[in-house]
Amino acid sequence: MTVKSTELVRTVFSKGEYPPPLRREIAFAGRSNVGKSSLLNSLFGRKLAKTSSTPGKTRSINFYGVNREIYFVDLPGYGYAKASMSEREKWKKLIIDYFESREELSLVVVLVDIRHPLQPADIQMLEWVTYYTIPFILVLTKADKLSRNQQIIAEKSIKDELASLGVYPPVFVVSAVKKQGIEELLIALL
């Protein structure tokens, strides 16, 4: 299956404002500035998700209809230090409500910057998806910032961290800039 059509269906700022369900939903979660919007645009094959050099711009849950049968759901970026505590708490409650209320949620794509070890906020997200028994995959973004050899070393290091947490998700290494790994990821998602 390929991406034939995409559209922003709904932007949600409050619990319960979700659109009517489609066949299934794939949520994208990651720290602020991990490249979530850039990855989504690469998967869509066009610029639809708003990108910014300023972290913490996604403050809502954005539902993108793909081929009119799947939602790609862009969750608010977590771990953004400059957001107020109340703002971060609101995002957390919104994400938890989404996880608890959407039966069509079939997969969470957890994005991690390949240049850094897992951060406490990444580990918390992994604990959430494990707690809610939602299948997930890990996508290591910004691979273009490292040489191929550095990518291999970083991927192994992160896989070792995951193993120490007792989780063994499929791991994809991608670059939205150079389109590395995008086709393989799309095949896994669709």
Taking the CA atoms of 111, 75, 70 and 133 in sequence, report the sign of the dihedral they define: positive
The Cα–Cα gap between 11 and 113 comes to 25
Beta-strand (E) ranges in 59-104?
Answer: 61-66, 70-74
Please give the model's pTM, rounded to 2 decimal places.
Answer: 0.93
Fill in the DSSP letter of residue 143: G
Task: Strand 70-74: give its sheet, edge to edge.
Answer: 6-12, 61-66, 70-74, 24-30, 105-113, 136-141, 171-173
| Burial of residue 6 (number of CB atoms within 10 Å: 0-12, 13-18, 19+) | buried
Name the least confident of 58-67, 88-97, 133-142, 158-167: 88-97
CATH architecture of residue range(s) 6-189: 3-Layer(aba) Sandwich (3.40)
Place of tokens 């790609």: 72
Q: Are 117 and 158 in contact (CB under 8 A)?
A: yes
Name the least confident of 18-27, 41-50, 108-117: 41-50
- How do residues 10-38 score in pLDDT, each as one tens digit? 999 988 899 999 999 999 999 988 999 99
Per-domain residue ranges of the chain = 6-189
Listed in sequence order, the residues at least 6 apart from 16 whose beta carbon sits closer than 8 Å to its beta carbon are 97, 101
Nearest Cα neighbor of 146 from 138, 136, 156 is 156
Mean pLDDT (whole number) for 4-9: 95
Q: Using 50, 70 and 90 to split pLDDT, how confident is the model at 133?
A: very high
Asked whether the predicted pLDDT for residue 54 surpasses 90, the reply is no
The Cα–Cα gap between 175 and 1 comes to 21
Q: Using 50, 70 and 90 to split pLDDT, how confident is the model at 59?
A: confident
pLDDT of residue 56: 53
pLDDT of residue 60: 87
Q: Which helix (H) or strand (E) holds 69?
A: none
